[in-house]
Amino acid sequence: MADQNGTIRRVREMVEESSHIVVLLGVGTVIESGGENLWSSRECYRLENLYHQSPDEMMSVGYYSARRDKFFTFYKKEILGCELKPAPLYKDLKRLQDTGKIRKIITQNYYGLHYQAGLANVVELHGNIHNNCCPHCGKKFPVEYIKEAKGVPLCDECRSAIRPGVLLFGEKIGNDLMTEAVNACESADLILVLGTNMYDNMVKFCTGNYKGERLVLITREEHYTDRYADYIIHDMVSNVLPKVIP
């Protein structure tokens, strides 16, 4: 605990000194907001017992195209059925962003919690559940339209199936988003990795060109890749941020 308290003091000093902070939000920030990690061992087991398919399969572009009715049964219950509210950590990030220190926030989370909290300059690598559109005519639909639809949600103009605004397995992240995320991390004077680990594909990809020595990992669970971070704090993100943000 003494070592961790010293790390917290040092991270607070770095936050005070920095002017170009980049934040990477992992699934732990969703869990702290009342959500689940659908790809945890426990959830995968539950979902496979219930749907007889893995979440990877059901959230794939092939499943959406070939078994659309079953895709939306899963999507509406397991993805849209979560009633999430931004955890306290988002309020602290908003406070820090209002000082002008946070230049970019990068996330694979697609629930839009960052927007509910008023955060800006967010790179959503996996899209957002609120950005739904008809692939035929381009009309946009709010998430409530998807939730309330019986069966497959159809465009009320051309009757085509609506495309959820999230990245599905089998699809690639847009090159523009990848470039924006990598460039932001490369030029950062401090990177905060929150609620995930250094093995996360987002973290590995985004921080691959980072040459600094101020990569801070704040997460509950220990992981063998922790050693790749410069500073490590094992705790809930919402517990730590009030201590490191002036």
| pLDDT, mean over the chain | 95
Q: List the beta bridge partners of residue 166.
A: 127
| Maximum Cα–Cα distance across the chain | 63
Superfamily of domain 2-35+85-129+171-244: TPP-binding domain (3.40.50.1220)
- At residue 206, the pLDDT reads 95
The answer to whether residues 48 and 98 touch, using CB atoms and an 8 Å cutoff, is no
pLDDT class for 2, splitting at 50, 70, 90? low
pLDDT class for 158, splitting at 50, 70, 90? very high
pTM above 0.85, yes or no: yes
Residue 102's contacts (CB-CB under 8 Å, 6 or more residues apart) are 21, 22, 23, 93, 96, 121
Instruction: Give the pLDDT mean for 166-182.
Output: 95
Using the predicted structure, report yes or no on whether residue 62 has a pLDDT greater than 90.
yes
- At residue 84, the pLDDT reads 93
The answer to whether residues 134 and 155 touch, using CB atoms and an 8 Å cutoff, is yes
Q: Which of 87, 97, 142 is nearest to 122 (CA)?
A: 97
Distance, CA of 59 to CA of 77 (rounded, Å): 13
Instruction: Give the pLDDT mean for 63-68.
Output: 95
The answer to whether residues 14 and 214 touch, using CB atoms and an 8 Å cutoff, is yes
Distance, CA of 132 to CA of 30 (rounded, Å): 21
Instruction: Give the pLDDT mean for 24-49.
Output: 94
Residue 213's contacts (CB-CB under 8 Å, 6 or more residues apart) are 230
Question: Hey, what are 189's tokens?
Answer: 């004077």
Instruction: Give the pLDDT mean for 193-199.
Output: 97
Question: Hey, what are 238's tokens?
Answer: 């919402």
- At residue 82, the pLDDT reads 85
pLDDT class for 1, splitting at 50, 70, 90? low
Domain ranges of the chain: 2-35+85-129+171-244
Distance, CA of 190 to CA of 72 (rounded, Å): 40
Using the predicted structure, report yes or no on whether residue 35 has a pLDDT greater than 90.
yes
The answer to whether residues 33 and 86 touch, using CB atoms and an 8 Å cutoff, is yes
* 8-state DSSP, 150: S
Question: What tens digit of pLDDT does each residue of 93-133 get?
Answer: 999 999 999 999 999 999 999 999 999 999 999 999 999 99
